[in-house]
Amino acid sequence: MAKLQTSDCKPLLIGAHMSIAGGLYKAFERGRHVRCRTSQIFLKNSNQWEGRSISDEDCALFQEAQNRSGIAPVLAHDSYLINLASPDLVLYQKSLDAFIEEMRRANFLGVPYLVFHPGAHRGAGTKAGADRIADALNQALAMVGPPVKLLAENTAGQGSCLGSRFEELAAILDEIRTSDRIGICLDTCHAFAAGYDIRTAEGYTRMMSEFDRLIGIGRIMAFHMNDSKKGLGCRVDRHFHIGKGLIGLDAFRCIVNDQRFEKIPKILETPKGTGFRQDMSNLRVLESLSLRV
């Protein structure tokens, strides 16, 4: 078994996806309540194409609330409707336009990362879908300048969704012209559902070695820390509470104690329930796995 590097006593950079109900800035109040050190938000309703414009006042409230909370970095996740791999030209263009708007929103608010699902090829085939995604990303990056960076999220592999295998993600990233502005958000539930067995330290080491060979470990810029309600290789995306699903605790212990990822945000997307109890419980579990003194 490969020996994991452990880090010093700096606090874990962990947090959770927070609701923006009532205003974007409200996410920081909620995050502070559950003791997030980092967090993720939507920049608008994730199930609608159009979003309310963000005013200068909205931006000021957002940045003031973030400064008070000390939560950083904050990640954004794009709309679930966007499909940059769609073979339907109308939907493809609509998705690209919406994605560009999400990038502009992130830049306006000062959000440094935009996480996105690569897309579903809808029967057109893996290569055709990957080519469409890469072309869309190149267009978007040309239209919207820094500082926002794009983080492609690995998927569970449901239906025709691309990005469940590291080879697919590598094929997309290899075609991006401004490669310094794109990275990966690695979702533990999705990796497990796609067939990467991370239930042991040995399995974790194997997965990370394969990722490093195909993509490069330095491209991991965020984690989604989710256990899985479904089994290995099921290709079904069902998040569950840390240590209570079929992945177990070892994978999360490996991540929080791997020095390579000390400065990488680790975000819960576990079931919420009512109130903040579930987020607080899951964050405590992650804290308890740390080997730091």
pTM: 0.95
Count of alpha carbons within 13 angstroms of residue 187, beta-carbon side: 28
Say how far apart CA 73 and CA 54 lie, in whole Å: 20
How is residue 22 annotated by DSSP? T
Hunting for tokens 């990966």 — which residue is that?
A: 184
State the pLDDT at residue 53.
93
Across the chain, mean pLDDT equals: 95
Contacts of 78 (CB under 8 A, 6+ apart): 43, 46, 98, 99, 102, 114, 115, 116, 117
Q: What are the CA-CA distances from residue 54 to residues 146, 150, 158, 287 (Å)?
A: 19, 20, 34, 35
Contact 31, 85 (CB under 8 A): no
Give tens-digit pLDDT for 47-62. Answer: 889 889 999 999 999 9
- Residue 3 has a pLDDT of 44
Residue pLDDT, tens place only, 224-237: 999 999 999 999 99
Residue 8 pLDDT exceeds 70: no
Would you identify the CATH topology of the domain 14-288? Answer: TIM Barrel (3.20.20)
pLDDT score recorded for residue 206: 98
Give pLDDT tens digits for 156-196. Answer: 999 999 999 999 999 999 999 999 999 999 999 999 999 99
pLDDT class for 10, splitting at 50, 70, 90?
confident
What 3-state DSSP class applies to 215?
coil
Task: Give the C-alpha separation, 132 to 157, whole Å.
Answer: 18
- Asked whether 190 and 154 are in contact (CB, 8 A), the reply is yes
- The span from the CA of 268 to the CA of 226, in Å, is 6
**Residue at token pair 């409230």:** 61
Once rounded to an integer, what is the mean pLDDT over residues 209-213? 98
Least confident of 8-22, 163-177, 268-282: 8-22
Q: What is the pLDDT of residue 9?
A: 60
Distance from chain centroid for Cα 149: 12
- Within 10 angstroms of residue 213's Cβ, the number of other Cβ atoms is 11
Among 5, 1, 13, CA closest to 287: 13
pLDDT value for 63: 98
**Band (273; pLDDT cuts 50, 70, 90):** confident
pLDDT at 2: 41
Parse the chain into domains and list their residue ranges. Answer: 14-288
